[in-house]
Chains A and B, each alone.
Chain A
Amino acid sequence: MKKPNRILEAVLVMAMLIATLALPACKAPRLEPGGVYAPTNELGQVVYADTGLALADASYQLAYDTVSAVLKFERDNRATIWALSPEVKKALDKVREQGNALNLRWAEARYLYKQNPTPAGLTALQTILAEIQRLVPVAQQQLAPVTSTLTQQP
């Protein structure tokens, strides 16, 4: 009965990590020349290096996948969780609604940024990223009482 608690703790720790990650405070990573975010010309010179988009994509992927893992867990175990607490699905449906709206904004902003990569476009992406990062702990908090109830039953 201890393993689920450790899993939950690990997920919550990751949520805290994600929530505390702030792009402006970061050390700039290096992009290996020749990659899709740092293409090179025929002389092997880097044409441009879009570190901002690489970081935004990596951060967005992590936040999105973390929320997805919570939503998938609830969906895969819906009958059990609903029997324990119908409020979990209701709360996660709100996360779904907000997340889908955010996701569409992210896709539109990223599409526009790729057409015209400006600092303002990157800022728009980072703003949406911050919003989905705020959804991560909200989503994960919904499962905490459920897993706690499950692990405390005799």
Chain B
Amino acid sequence: MPPIVLSIIALINLVSTTGPELAKLYQQARSLFDMLFRGGLITVAQQAALKSWADAHEAATLAGRTPPEWQIEPDPPTPIGPGN
């Protein structure tokens, strides 16, 4: 497959996969910034959501469950070509 096609696929994936993640991270960063530097009020609902995430993440970690993206998987095969 020509490199440009791979690049286009990668770019589409980059936007489609990182876009929603980025929006979520941006909201988290802004919320944390408000908490830390503006003395913001952490509402009952925010506290519940935060503790729910932390408790679930703690329990999963202690149970040895790891998300797929955190697992070390075998390297893909290296393509054979000039220089290999």
Interface residues of A, Cβ cutoff 8 Å to B? 1, 3-4, 7, 10-11, 14, 17-18, 21, 23, 26-32, 34-38, 54-55, 57-62, 64-66, 68-69, 71-83, 86, 89-90, 93, 96-97, 99-100, 103-104, 106-108, 110-111, 147, 150-151, 153-154
Contact = CB atoms under 8 A, between A and B. Distances in A.
Interface residues of B, number: 57
Interface string B27-50: 011011111111111111011101
Given A7-B19, A38-B47, A80-B10, A71 B54 contact: no
Contacts of B13: 76-77, 80
B9 interface: yes
26 contacts: A18-B29, A29-B34, A29-B39, A29-B40, A31-B41, A32-B41, A32-B42, A55-B35, A55-B36, A65-B21, A69-B18, A72-B21, A73-B14, A73-B21, A77-B10, A78-B76, A93-B72, A97-B72, A100-B66, A103-B61, A103-B70, A104-B61, A106-B61, A110-B58, A111-B58, A150-B14
B39 A28 contact: yes
A75 B68 contact: yes
A4 B24 CA distance: 17
The secondary-structure label for the interface of chain A is helix
Given A27-B38, A32-B41, A154-B4, A76 B47 contact: no
Contacts, number: 177
Nearest to B54: A57
Nearest to B39: A27
The secondary-structure label for the interface of chain B is helix
B2 to A, nearest CB: 10
A26 B26 CA distance: 19
Contact of B57 (A69, A107, A150): A107
B25 A77 contact: no
Nearest to B3: A153
Contacts of A100: 66, 70
What 8 pairs across the A-B complex have the smallest Cβ distances? A35-B47, A107-B61, A71-B69, A26-B36, A72-B69, A27-B39, A29-B35, A57-B54
